[in-house]
Amino acid sequence: MAKFVFVTGGVVSSLGKGITSAALGLILKRVGLNVALQKLDPYLNVDPGTMSPFQHGEVFVTDDGAETDLDLGHYERYTGISCSRKSNYTSGQIYETVIAKERRGEYLGHTVQVIPHVTDEIKAAIRGLATRDIDVVITEVGGTVGDIEGLPFLEAIRQFRFDVPAEDIIYVHLTLVPYIRAAGEMKTKPTQQSVGRLREIGIQPDVLIVRTERPMSEDMRRKISLFCNVDPHAVFEERDVEHSIYEIPVQLVKQGMDGHLAKRLGLGPRRIDLSDWERMLENIRNPEREAKIAVVGKYIRLQDSYKSIYEALAHAGISHKAKVTVDRVDSEQVEKDGAEKLLAAADGILVPGGFGARGIEGKISAIRYAREKGVPFLGICLGMQCAAIEFARNVLGMKKANSTEFDPKTKHPVIVLMDEQRRVVKMGGTMRLGAYQCALGAGTKLRAAYGTDRAYERHRHRYEFNNAMRRKFERAGMIFSGLSPDGKLVEAMELKHHPWFVCVQSHPEFKSRPLDPHPLFRDFVGAALAGRKG
C-alpha cells in the first residue's frame, strides 16, 4: 500500500509549493522510496495548454503528451522521475469526467453533487498514482487555502484520512512568516490564520514549512507550534536561498526533514545520501567561468514563461563549472532597436518556442545576427521555424518566406501546417504532443551532443518544415541533422559553416536536470564559453 503526502499552501501564492513538493520528492526518493508526484489545480480550464504564458507561465509537456502545470517540471528536475498525464488534474478535468459519467447514466438516478461525486473523482485521481511499485504519492494542491475553487480538493484530501491508516498520510502546509521592516520583526499571525483556515476545513497539518526571509528563532518556532497545534520538531524553516533553488532539499535535510518524514511514515531510521547533489551545489556556488546567453522571446517579462529553458541553461552551466547569465531580450524590442544593439554582449543566442506572429520579425533579426556573426545559436521549436524563415529570406533570396501560421498566403511557405493537423478544429490537447523518436545524422553536431543515433524528445507544435524546400536548403549549407525515423519530418537542422548553430523542433529543455544536464544545452553553452567575448 502506498503512503500519501499532501502539500497545501497558505497566506499568499508563489511561496514555492511546487519546489517544496519537488524537494520532498527528492528527500523521500533518497531515503529509498519509490515516489510519484502530482499537482491538483483548482482552475476550470481542462489543462493549461490553452492559457496564455502571461497568465500561467510555461506549459510543461510530459512524455505521454499531456500539457501540464510547470510545477511538474520542478518535480522532474529534482527527482529525475518522469511524470505522466496522471500527474496533473484540474477542476475542469474532474468536472468533465463527472459530467460525462452523468450523461452516460452512471450515477443511476442520483443527484450528482460535489460531495461525494466530485470528491470521489478527485480521490480516484490521487489513488491513480498509487500503483503497486509506488511507496509514496506526493500530491500538491494548487492555489491557497481559502480559495473557493480549492475547496473540493481540500475536502477530498480531508476525507482521505479515513481511507488509509493514520501513519500512511501526512499533511504538509507551506506558509509565510513575513518580516515587517518598519517593526523590525517577523510575524507569525498570517501563518496562524492560514492553519486556522485549514483546521476549519478539518485538516490538521502534521508538518509546517515556513517561508522566511530571515532566520526563525527558537522562540518563534515554539510559538508557531503552540498556536498551530503542530509538534515543534515538525516546524521547518525554508529560508530564501542565496544561490539556487536547488539548495532547498539540503536546507530541509539539515533540519532533519528526512528523519522526520521517515519516522512519521513508520519507516524506522533511514540513511540519506545527497553527496552528488551537494557537489552540484558546490559547482553552482563556485563558478570558474561565465557565459552570457541572450534568450530572445515574446514572453520575456514573466520569469515563468520559459522556466524550463532558464533551468536547462543553468544546468548546462553547472556541467561546465560556469555561471550562465541570462539576458532576457524582448523580441519586439529587437524590432525597434536592431539586433546589434541588444545582442552585442551575448556569447550565445537562444530563440525559444512560441505561438502567433507578434515579435516574429525580431526573432528573425536575432537569428540573422547569430548566423552572420558566428554567435552560437540554439533554436527551439518556433526558434527552429524562425531560423528556417531567416535562411530562406536572407540566404536563398526568398524575400517573403514565412510560416503559414503567420502569413497563410505566403509565396514561399517554408513552414506549413502538419498534415495530421489539417482537420483539427478543437484547440485543447490537439497539437503534436509528447515524446517522439528522432534519428540523428552521422557527423553532425546534434549527434555529437547526444552521443547516440536516436533521441527521444517531447513536442508541442502544429507546424513543420516544408519538405519541398529541403533540397534548396541543403545546397546552401543547411544540414537536416535530425529526422523522424521514417524520414518524413524535419526534427532538427544545423548550419555546416558555423561554430555552433543547431535548431530542434522538439523541446529538449523539458528533459534537462541539474544532475543530468541536457546534451544540447551543454554543448550550446560549451560553444558560447569557447567563443566568449571576454
- Per CB under 6 A, 353 contacts ligand GLN: yes
- CA–CA–CA angle 467, 357, 334 (5° rounding): 105
Interacting residue with ligand GLN among 161, 355, 407, 476 (CB under 6 A) = 355
Contact 512, 308 (CB under 8 A): yes
Question: Of 136 and 469, which has the nearer Cβ to ligand GLN?
Answer: 469
- The grid cell for 189 is 499571525
Query: Which residue in 382, 387, 495, 520 binds ligand GLN (CB under 6 A)?
Result: 382
Edge-to-edge, what's the strand order for the sheet holding 402-403? 402-403, 413-417, 463-465
Give the strand pairing for 235-239 and 289-297. unpaired
For the bound state, the minimum distance from the C-beta of residue 363 to ligand GLN, rounded and expressed in Å, comes to 11
Stretch that binds ligand GLN, among 47-55, 273-281, 290-298, 381-389 (CB under 6 A): 381-389
* Residue 381 is a catalytic residue: yes
If binding is defined by CB under 6 A, does position 359 make contact with ligand GLN? Answer: no
What minimum distance in Å lies between the beta carbon of 532 and ligand GLN? Answer: 28
Pick the closer one to ligand GLN by CB: 155 or 390: 390
x/- binding map, residues 143-172, to ligand GLN, per CB under 6 A?
------------------------------
Catalytic residue among 83, 381, 386, 503: 381
- What's the closest the beta carbon of residue 57 comes to ligand GLN, in angstroms? 14
Smallest distance from the beta carbon of 354 to ligand GLN, in angstroms?
5
Cα distances from 414 to residues 153, 388, 470, in angstroms, run 47, 7, 9
Q: Looking at 381, 440, 490, 529, which residue binds ligand GLN (CB under 6 A)?
A: 381
Residue 53, interface with ligand GLN (CB under 6 A)? no
Q: Does 367 sit near ligand GLN (CB under 6 A)? A: no
- Count helices and strands (H / E) in the chain: 19, 23
Interaction with ligand GLN in 105-144: which residues (CB under 6 A)? none
Q: How many CA atoms lie within 13 A of 74 on its CB side?
A: 23
Tell me how far apart the alpha carbons of residues 121 and 132 are, in angstroms, rounded to a whole number.
20
Region near ligand GLN per CB under 6 A, out of 81-89, 125-133, 197-205, 380-388: 380-388
Q: Which residue is nearest to ligand GLN (CB)?
A: 353
**Helix ranges (DSSP H) in 216-306:** 218-228, 248-254, 257-264, 275-285
354 binds ligand GLN (CB under 6 A): yes
| Binding pattern for the stretch 392-411 against ligand GLN, x by CB under 6 A and - elsewhere | -------------x------
Cell digits of residue 381: 521549436
> Which 456-515 residues touch ligand GLN, going by CB under 6 A?
460-463
Alpha helices in 255-330 (DSSP H): 257-264, 275-285, 307-319
Residue 238, Ramachandran bin (φ over 0: left; ψ between -120 and 50: alpha; else beta)? beta
- Give the orientation angle of helix 71-79 with respect to helix 307-319, to 10 degrees: 20
Sign of the torsion formed by the C-alpha atoms of 142, 430, 130 and 35? negative
Tell me the HSE value of 109 on the side-chain side, using a 13 A CA sphere: 0
Q: Which stretch binds ligand GLN (CB under 6 A): 158-166, 265-273, 293-301, 377-385?
A: 377-385
Non-local CB neighbours of 409 within 8 Å, separated by 6+ positions = none
By beta-carbon proximity to ligand GLN, the closer residue of 236 and 480 is: 480
Catalytic annotation present for 509: yes
Closer Cβ to ligand GLN, 249 or 297, answer by number = 297
Size of site (CB under 6 A) for ligand GLN: 11
Known catalytic residues?
Answer: 381, 507, 509
Residues interacting with ligand GLN, by CB under 6 A? 353-355, 381-382, 385, 405, 460-463
